[in-house]
Amino acid sequence: MEKLLQQIVNGITLGSIYALIALGYTMVYGIIKLINFAHCDIYMIGAYVGYFCMTFFKLGLLPSLLIAMLVCTLLGVLIERIAYRPLRNAARISVLITAIGVSLFLEYGTMFFVKANVRTYPEVTGLLAQRFKIGNIIISMQQVILISITVILMALLQFIVKRTRLGKAMRAVSMDRDAAQLMGIDVNSTVSFTFALGSALAGAAGILVGIYYNTINPLMGVVPGLKAFIAAVFGGIGIIPGAMIGGYFIGAVEVMVAGYGNSMYRDAVVFAILILILIIKPSGLLGKNTREKV
Amino acid sequence: MRKFIALALTYAIVQVLIMTNVISGYFQATLVTVCINIILAVSLNLITGFTGQFSLGHAGFMSVGAYVCALVTMRISTIPGFILGVISGAIAAAILGGLVGLPTLRLRGDYLAIATLGMSEIVRIIFLNMEITNGAAGLNGIPQFINWTWLFIFTAGTVLFLANFVKSAHGRACISIREDEIAAEAMGIDTIRYKVIAFIIGAFCAGIAGAVYSSYFYFLKPDLFGFLKSVDVLVIVVLGGLGSMSGSILAAILLALISTYLQSFPEIRMVLYSLILVIIMIFRPQGLMGSKEISLSVFNKLGRNKLWNITKSRKGGL
């Protein structure tokens, strides 16, 4: 029982990361129907920016987090502007290949500049290094911070999407781009704004992972990126609460499989879940079935 | 007829170049890679370019072919054993292709791409954990049977088979699914059946490519068949042009040349490769060839009244 509770705590921690990344995937897919493969590398860049802030400039967690989010926002907008916008009306598959190209570029570009070796985040001290014990369950301060920052960011996102004009514009563009344009919405800037939001969240996820797992490398984004995408599909792609639920579910499943089964198979189980959900309910947990019109 | 002359010429020229040691060592390995990539790209083109089913799982099919062939040839290391290995590898891959084809009854577009990606990752993880495949360490010392003759037979055979398939009634049915699935169904085409057929044939050929790979490079590990391998193949197909067999062949050769050239700058090789990819996609999203084909009838126009004015009858074409 205690083991189970401990696993649940770990699952929520991992799930928070997946949820943060999945939000970016789901928003971008919702608005321009693109699997943004470069998204997971923005997360990696966020981890590196955080690393440099904390190691070389000796900044605290919060300033580093904000700087990482800012850099990732700019990067995300820049990528959209340079690589995706010229292809807005091209075939989906060419945009997808472009996304893969950008992803490879970020991975190997980072590798070129910072070398491929694994880097370690500075040891946490003071308040951050504390651990709480509830019964036999250990919760570290890092986990508390990670989960609370995630919740705050998600609440902020919900607020932006539901309550602001820009959020309304995002929802309108994702429903029907042409109609939104006819209503006077600037589609290009709305898409840029979506990329900015998603990238900021990915940057936050990157630095939080750095603090929690300590090690980062230029290819760290690939596997979490795929899993976060699966989380987005699981919850129903294009639906923001779906991505959150999916993220936590995938995180929990992964931790459970590693804890009780064979940890070698945890990735396989996640992919098997993906295939099952695609076969049983392709529109995802919260998705509605759209009927096909001729 | 002219097709066969062209093929025989290609075979003979390369054979002479190998025998006179113009193509040696490193370039021979490149030649094998090019041929494997041609088989993979042409077969993925059938699934993605002609039938319009977006697949990111080609590395999975390839790995099944490679492992089955390796396991068979390691037990029976003779030429018949090798042939048996290639055939059983291809059939195993085709069975997997059929199994993957089944979910396509419901999925389309990006969802299918992600599902096939998931399938190929699952296959990789299974190989990583199986006793018989020696896990992450991989199989070593697979007997080497591939030489230029075998390589040529498999490559040309696959290309000819697929090129003819696309031109047959079945191929036309596949193309009609790509163009408009609902309209195709209304015309009485059994879309489900043709989608599964496309997957089975594509996987079969990918299995052959995997078998060739294992037999030439005599070393296999699951990491070789990750997500990036599938992407590599897809890049070739899209770069060459979806729905253009000759485009796939051209792109496979071109990318191999680029990658051989960039070999001298290992640090920025992948950076340049990805930049080239993005730039080509931005400026020529339909790929090098679009959906056009290079056909040998080009030579007809060039050589009219000059060299061989003999056969005008059929518009040939690879």
B103/A278 touch (CB, cutoff 8 Å), yes or no: yes
Chain A residues inside the 8 Å CB shell of B266: none
C-alpha torsion sign, points B231, B144, B218, B211:
positive
Give the DSSP H/E element, type plus range, for residue B139. Answer: strand B139-140
Give the DSSP H/E element, type plus range, for residue B17. Answer: helix B2-19
Which comes out higher in pLDDT, residue B280 or A72?
A72
Residues paired with residue A131 on neighbouring β-strands, in sequence order: A140
CA distances for B258 relative to A98, B253, B277, angstroms: 18, 9, 11
pLDDT band with cut points at 50, 70 and 90 for residue A181: very high
Q: How many residues does chain A have?
A: 294
A101/B110 touch (CB, cutoff 8 Å), yes or no: no
CB-CB contact of A106 with A45 (8 Å): yes
Give per-residue pLDDT as tens, A31-60.
Answer: 888 889 899 999 999 999 999 998 888 888
Rounded (5°) CA angle A77-A25-A206: 75
Residues paired with residue B220 on neighbouring β-strands, in sequence order: B139
| Chain B nearest C-alpha distance from A145 (Å) | 32
A226/B281 touch (CB, cutoff 8 Å), yes or no: no
Tokens at residue B111, please? 């969802």
The runs of H, that is alpha helices, within chain A are 2-32, 39-55, 61-79, 92-114, 141-163, 165-175, 177-182, 187-213, 222-235, 240-260, 266-280
Comparing alpha-carbon positions, the chain B residue that sits nearest to A111 is B267
- A126 Cβ contact partners less than 8 Å away, ≥ 6 residues apart: none
Question: Residue A294 pLDDT > 80, yes or no?
Answer: no
What predicted TM-score, i.e. pTM, was given to this entire model? 0.85
Of B113, B269, B281, the CB nearest to A87: B281
Q: What is the mean pLDDT of residues A216-220?
A: 90
pLDDT at B62: 95
In chain A, positions 254-283, which contact chain B (CB-CB < 8 Å)? 262, 264-265, 267-268, 271-272, 274-275, 278-279, 282
Give per-residue pLDDT as tens, A13-39.
Answer: 999 999 999 999 999 998 888 889 899
CB-CB contact of B43 with B50 (8 Å): no
Instruction: Kindly calculate the radius of gyration of chain A based on its CA atoms and give it in whole angstroms.
Output: 19
CA distances for A43 relative to A201, A217, B180, angstroms: 8, 11, 38
A98/B282 touch (CB, cutoff 8 Å), yes or no: yes
- B149 Cβ contact partners less than 8 Å away, ≥ 6 residues apart: B11, B15
Comparing alpha-carbon positions, the chain B residue that sits nearest to A276 is B115
- Exposed, middle or buried: residue A163 (CB in 10 Å: 0-12, 13-18, 19+)? exposed
Give per-residue pLDDT as tens, B141-155.
Answer: 888 888 888 999 999
CB-CB contact of A233 with A277 (8 Å): yes
Q: How many residues does chain B have?
A: 318
pLDDT at B314: 41
Chain A residues inside the 8 Å CB shell of B272: none
ipTM score of complex: 0.82
Which comes out higher in pLDDT, residue B213 or A291?
B213
Of A112, A226, A279, the CB nearest to B271: A112
A294/B119 touch (CB, cutoff 8 Å), yes or no: no
Per-residue pLDDT of chain B in tens (318 residues, 90 and over written 9): 777 888 888 888 888 888 787 777 778 888 899 999 999 999 999 999 999 888 888 999 999 999 999 999 998 888 899 999 999 999 999 999 998 888 777 777 778 888 888 889 899 999 988 888 888 888 888 888 888 889 999 999 999 999 999 999 999 999 999 988 889 999 999 988 999 999 999 999 999 999 999 999 888 999 889 888 898 898 899 888 888 899 999 999 988 888 888 878 777 888 888 888 888 888 888 888 877 787 666 555 554 444 444 444 444 433
Of B110, B125, B182, the CB nearest to A35: B110
In chain A, positions 93-122, which contact chain B (CB-CB < 8 Å)? 93-98, 100-105, 107-109, 111-112
Of A87, A109, A271, the CB nearest to B285: A87
pLDDT at B296: 62
* Nearest one of A39, A19, A20 to A29, comparing CA atoms: A39
Chain B residues inside the 8 Å CB shell of A112: 267-268, 271
| Chain B nearest C-alpha distance from A106 (Å) | 8
Tokens at residue A142, please? 């890092």
Rounded (5°) CA angle A260-A265-A267: 110
Tell me whether A83 touches chain B (CB under 8 Å): yes
Tokens at residue B14, please? 């390369």
